[in-house]
Amino acid sequence: MRPDRVVLVCGTATDVGKTWVGARLLAVLRGRGLTVAARKPAQSFEVDGDGGVLGGATDAEVLGEASGERPDQVCRRSRWYPRAMAPPMAAEALGLPAFTVADLYGALAWPTRSVAVGLVETAGGVRSPQADDGDAVDFCGALRPDAVVLVADAGLGTINSVSLSMAALSTAVGDPPAAVVVLDRYDHSRELHRRNRAWLERRAGYRVLVLPGEEELLADAVAASA
C-alpha cells in the first residue's frame, strides 16, 4: 500500500547529512500527528575490528527510531552491507548476489496500514550506484516521488553540486511539485553559507531551506497534501 505522499531524500554526496535530515523530518511529521514510514532500499556501512558499526548506528536504525519502526522494516536485512562502498559495490566485494533497481523498488514493503507520508532515503549522491543497473536518479524514476528533498553541505562547492544534482533528478521526475534543497549544518554567522543560500534562491530559482532551524518549514513543504 503506497503512502498518501512519498518523499525522496537524496544528497549531493555522501556524508552531507541525509539521514539526520530525514530523521528530523520524520520527528516533526509524527509530532503533528501524521502517520509515517521510512525506507532505506539498501545500506552499506563501515564496521570496526569487533564488527560494530562505526558511528554507533546504521541509517536504518536512525530512521527507524525516528519513524517508530524496526530497523529491519526500514531496510531489509538482506540489504545490509558491512562495507563502506556503494551498496552494489559492497555486495560484490562481499561475494553477495547482485540486485537491480527493480529489486529495490519491489522490496520497499510499505505498511499495510494507511500511512500519510513515506520517506525513502537513497545512498550517497544522486549519481551514486544504488544497484547493478542504476543510480539514485534511476531509482527516483521508478519511485516517482511526490516530493524530493535534496540535502547538500552549506559550504564551498554547494552551488555546483546542487545544480548538477537537480539537473540529474529532473531527467527522472521533471520538476516535482515539492522540490526542496536543504543546506545542512548551516551556520547563519558564516557569510559563505548565507551567500550560497541567496545565490541558489535568487539566481538558480530553487526553494532552499536550512537545518538546523527550519524543520517545520520543511515538513510544510513535503507534506502539503498529506
From CA 124, how far away is CA 164, in angstroms rounded?
14
From CA 96, how far away is CA 117, in angstroms rounded?
32
Whether residue 18 lies in the annotated active site:
no
Q: Active site residue: 18, 40, 76, 79, which one?
A: 40
Closest by CA position to 126, among listed 174, 168, 86: 168
Closest by CA position to 119, among listed 226, 214, 14: 226
Any idea how long the chain is? 226
From CA 220, how far away is CA 222, in angstroms rounded?
6
Residues recognised as catalytic:
40
